[in-house]
Amino acid sequence: MGRYASGLQPLRGQNNVQGGGDMGAIPNRLPGFQDILDPGARLKFESAWDTVIESHYGLNLTEMFGALDCLCRRLTVPPAEAYGVATFYAMFSVRPRPATVLQVCTDLACTAAGASDLCAGIEARAGLGSGVSVERSPCLGLCERAPAALTVRAGDPVRTAVSAPATVEAAVLAASAPDSAPEEPPAVTAVPQAGDPSPTLLGRVGVVDPSSLDDYRAHGGYTALRRAFALGPAAVIREVTDSGLLGRGGAAFPTGRKWRATASQPDRPHYLVCLCPTGALSFKSEFDRRAPGTWDESAQTQTTTVCACCGVGCNLTLHVQDNEIVKVTSPHDNPVTHGKLCIKGRFGYQHIQNRG
């Protein structure tokens, strides 16, 4: 970073190191983890990128801040905003740390399942001098198997290991030997509650006919909505604020504060946008090209990388036509996404290729 075409050190670990390598964003590696000191590799990418690649390593994270101004000028991003992002998200690091990082989730589900005791036990076993950095992390996307821990060991290749439900012994073992961690269970095990009456949110799964509103009401459906109407808008916002409810995105923004800010806007009317289920939205770029008949899948190239919106590590396939990203999908055999992406992963590319 700060040296033309030399790349940058990814701001966070996890599987994004793979994506960083694939798109040439690691200071000592070209795509495919080819060494930047290799003249043959440089020549190949110099021809593809139509630029000269310097024959030395770029800057690592601890050296990057002197180059922030240059980077932000090229990206038209204020330096304060770039630094804010780097210091806000838990999986980013602005300080040197060991090659092995053990992220222990302390978000809501994991805390309720004993994450605090888990952290204390792990820190007692893998503290200072162990070569492992133990860090408390927001949601790792493993709520149904809480408490959860994720080990990331830098290197070529990067090694990761999940412990969930995590014990002190299992997490420490994964940190010391990531390759020894057991295989991830099949996705179907993420919904073991079907038909079980004990859960609150999932208690109707396998019980209520999803096509019948009468059946839904007969099992307590819309009770909370009727209560909200009885309370009124101001009281609902106060209840949500007092509950401490947070957004499920990477920023974990307080929901009550967001609702209050929207309600206080003088412009009327206010609109509520309800998102479709994951994977149900279509791409405007595809629609706009299909209308005049310019959509051509045979002319599109596909590049696989890793989504940078959160810390889950979802694989993205970028579909490019006429030198523009026109669609983003995920491989159906990907063990993280199983072919599905959230709205950030599917549509965040529009901010990346914005040429305005």
pLDDT, position 60: 56
Helix (H, G, I), strand (E, B) or coil at 307: coil
pLDDT, position 3: 36
What does the chain come to in residues? 356
pLDDT, position 15: 44
DSSP secondary structure, 190-237, as one string: G-TTTT-SS-SSSTTTTTS-TT-HHHHHHTTTTHHHHHHHHH-HHHHH
pLDDT, position 154: 81
Query: Is 313 in contact with 14 (CB distance < 8 Å)?
Result: yes
pLDDT, position 199: 74
pLDDT, position 147: 92
Alpha-carbon gap, residue 147 to 140, rounded angstroms: 10
Query: Is 42 in contact with 30 (CB distance < 8 Å)?
Result: yes
Helix (H, G, I), strand (E, B) or coil at 42: helix
Residue 294, token pair as written in the block? 């310019």
Helix (H, G, I), strand (E, B) or coil at 1: coil
Looking up tokens 């893998």 gives: 126
Contacts of 330 (CB under 8 A, 6+ apart): 314, 315, 316, 317, 337, 339, 340, 341, 345
Query: Does residue 331 have a cis peptide bond before it, meaning omega lies within 30 degrees of 0?
Result: no
Question: Could you list the pLDDT tens digit for every one of the 356 residues in the chain?
Answer: 333 333 343 344 444 555 555 555 566 777 766 788 888 888 887 777 666 676 777 655 545 555 566 767 787 877 777 777 767 777 766 666 778 889 999 888 899 999 999 998 998 887 666 778 888 888 888 888 889 999 988 877 888 888 888 999 999 988 888 887 777 776 555 666 666 667 777 777 777 887 788 999 998 889 999 999 999 999 999 999 999 888 765 566 788 998 998 899 888 888 877 665 544 556 778 878 887 889 898 899 998 888 777 666 778 888 999 888 888 888 777 777 777 777 777 777 766 565 54
Which helix (DSSP H) or strand (DSSP E) does residue 16 occupy? helix 16-22
Alpha-carbon gap, residue 164 to 103, rounded angstroms: 12
pTM score: 0.41
pLDDT, position 2: 36
pLDDT, position 52: 65
pLDDT, position 88: 73
